[in-house]
Amino acid sequence: MPGLSPARVRLALLALALGGFAIGATEFVAMGVLPEIAAEVLPALNRSQPEEAIARAGIVISAYALGVVVGAPTIAALAAKLPRRGLLLGLAIAFTVGTVLSAAAPTFETLIAARFLAGLPHGAYFGIASLVAGQLMGPGKRGRGVAFVLSGLTIANVVGVPAITFLGQQFGWRVSYIVVAAIFALTAVAIAVLVPGSPGDPTATLRRELKVFTRSQIWLTLAAGAIGFGGFFAVYSYVTKLTTEVTGLGAGFVPFALATLGIGMTIGNVAGGRLADHGAMRAVLILLPSLAVACVLVALLSLWPVGLFVSLLLVGFVCGGAGPAVQTRLMDVAGEAQTLAAALNHSALNIGNSMGAALGGAAIAAGLGYTSPAWVGAIVAALGLLFALISFALERARPDTMTPIAGLNLAE
């Protein structure tokens, strides 16, 4: 944005990244305290069938992810005209409320409902924040702007999620969500004070934004991202049991396992942003097969502590890189509907979250063991690559696939 000093730009970017940090904490902390959630909200099942209780508690993860999938396109499309700072502030407040409701939920069913509500602002926040960050960074640095916002999410996995997981193990999982709610409240203050005013798109209409769904490349990129990210979440959702039951480490090592994933994601996010600036499609085609290989390594090496931590670092690195790559690709193929496209990546990410958690839980419930989600992850990531290859081949053969699908003009 013209007229802003470098210091003011950095502070604004940090405020946006703080929101990403809080979102990373609220999304991923459930993975670390899943046994505590199962023990409190599903006590009878947890006593009689602990594996089934863990698998069922995974619905809490899927509920948040479903909220993201529903909220991202809906809020982004409806709010494209609104001033962006005010919209970001409103979304941060909504996050605060939803997370408080999660901490206070008295039953398993109300916890699921609260997590769904808490997920609704997720995609719209990242989408709008990515557009603002792109403006702040300037021309030619859009991928790095997206990566900066996502850096809050990845750093949350290095510091926030392990620390909040430790608090949840010591004082109860509800304390974890109270801490996250406080971070969201701080984010709202930071946005109000540090982020410069930014108008929405005055020409945006709901029909124009929805027109993005007439583009075949949007659907192919969403499929590649959603299915590919599912491979990561199949591993991440059950990393607690992988650490304690397969590797044989104590529960005190779970925060370190989560931090290892987060370190990988943070480094990968920076690399992925730079890679995306040199070609988002190429980045996606490199990272998805790498994710499948990394999941296989988790399944093969997690019997040993060093193998566990090295393979988790690799999984985190590849997934961290895929985030800005897929988001930049969506923005490349979206035409004028940039607000909705920027949010759709998080629908894809959380379809993957929901799918990965569900498929990994089903494999565990079927008695295939706690390494089975990693094998599921490898298969799912390979399927995501298939859609990316179709997208690439179609674009090479028919450049007109970057334009709306014939006969589906929603703007009319």
Q: Which of 72, 335, 339, 86 is nearest to 201 (CA)?
A: 339
As a whole number of angstroms, the distance between CA 162 and CA 194 comes to 28
Q: Number of helices and strands (H, E) in the chain?
A: 19, 0
Residue 401 confidence class, pLDDT cut points 50, 70, 90: low
Q: Which CATH superfamily is domain 6-402 in?
A: MFS general substrate transporter like domains (1.20.1250.20)
**Residue 283 and residue 325 in contact, taking contact as beta carbons nearer than 8 Å:** yes
Extents of the domains making up the chain = 6-402
If DSSP codes are grouped into helix, strand and coil, which group holds residue 116?
helix
| Residue 408 confidence (pLDDT) | 35
Q: Which of 229, 212, 216, 225 is nearest to 356 (CA)?
A: 229
| Residue 397 confidence (pLDDT) | 78
Tell me the torsion sign for CA atoms 214, 286, 226, 276.
negative
**Residue 282 and residue 336 in contact, taking contact as beta carbons nearer than 8 Å:** no
Highest mean pLDDT among 150-154, 345-349, 357-361 belongs to: 357-361
Alpha helix stretches (DSSP H) within 80-215: 84-104, 108-119, 122-137, 142-155, 161-171, 173-194, 206-210
Global confidence as pTM? 0.72
Q: Which residues pair with 404 in a beta bridge?
A: 215
pLDDT in tens, 370-382: 999 999 999 999 9
pLDDT in tens, 187-223: 999 999 988 877 766 766 667 777 777 788 888 988 8
**Residue 188 and residue 92 in contact, taking contact as beta carbons nearer than 8 Å:** yes
367, 224, 398, 286: CA torsion to nearest 10: -100
Residue 76 confidence class, pLDDT cut points 50, 70, 90: confident
| Residue 61 confidence (pLDDT) | 82
